[in-house]
């Protein structure tokens, strides 16, 4: 049986590995989400559980960045590369251009998109996750065989989805 802690661990591990999320405002926008690369601050990692914000490097010219205010609600969607973890994350969005945070999160992948850490257009979007619905893949050869034998696969799936606080 999979419990909520195990499901959260699988989510954070998959996000740290695969990083791409679709990020958008939950209200007041046209529903447009953008693919963005998530950055997890190692300071927020405790074992396999993460307890910090999710960061995204962006440009001050990015439409999402320009629409964020102190009341911005976010919805982010994630699918792992192996399609074995899916999540919808809800939380709040804020922005910053704090050089200390930019320096802490800087890496060679981010560097490829900017003129350096002092690029005048560089900015960060901070997603403070509050809760998520996470699905763990329950489809498998075993589930297919069970269906062929007339066994209901829903019983195996019930412990593979969780609404969790992040």
Domain ranges of the chain: 4-165
Rounded mean pLDDT, 42-57: 79
- Contacts for 13 with CB less than 8 Å, ≥ 6 apart: 48
* Cα–Cα distance, 31 to 15 (Å, whole number): 22
Rounded mean pLDDT, 68-75: 91
CA pseudo-torsion sign 106, 112, 113, 119: positive
Query: Is the model more confident about 136 or about 99?
Result: 99
Rounded mean pLDDT, 46-55: 79
CATH top-level class of 4-165: mainly beta
pLDDT at residue 154, rounded to an integer: 61
Asked if pLDDT for residue 29 goes beyond 70, the answer is no
- Contacts for 87 with CB less than 8 Å, ≥ 6 apart: 11, 15, 77, 78, 132, 133, 134, 135
pLDDT at residue 138, rounded to an integer: 63
Distance between terminal CA atoms of the chain?
A: 21
* Average pLDDT value over all residues in the chain: 86
């Amino acid at each position: 049986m999979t419990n909520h802690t195990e499901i959260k661990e699988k989510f954070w591990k998959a996000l740290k590995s695969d990083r791409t999320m679709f990020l958008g405002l939950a209200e007041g926008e046209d529903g447009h989400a953008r693919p963005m690369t998530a950055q997890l601050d190692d300071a927020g990692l405790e074992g396999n559980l993460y307890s910090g914000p999710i960061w995204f490097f962006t440009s001050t010219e990015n439409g999402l960045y320009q629409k964020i205010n102190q009341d911005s609600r976010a919805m982010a969607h994630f699918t792992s590369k192996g399609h074995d973890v899916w999540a919808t994350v809800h939380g709040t969005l804020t922005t910053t251009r704090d050089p200390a945070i930019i320096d802490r999160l800087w890496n060679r992948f981010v560097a490829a998109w900017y003129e350096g850490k002092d690029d005048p257009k560089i900015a960060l979007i901070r997603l403070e996750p509050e809760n998520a619905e996470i699905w763990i893949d329950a489809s498998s050869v075993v589930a297919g065989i069970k269906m062929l034998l007339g066994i209901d696969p829903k019983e195996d799936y019930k412990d593979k989805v969780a609404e969790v606080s992040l």
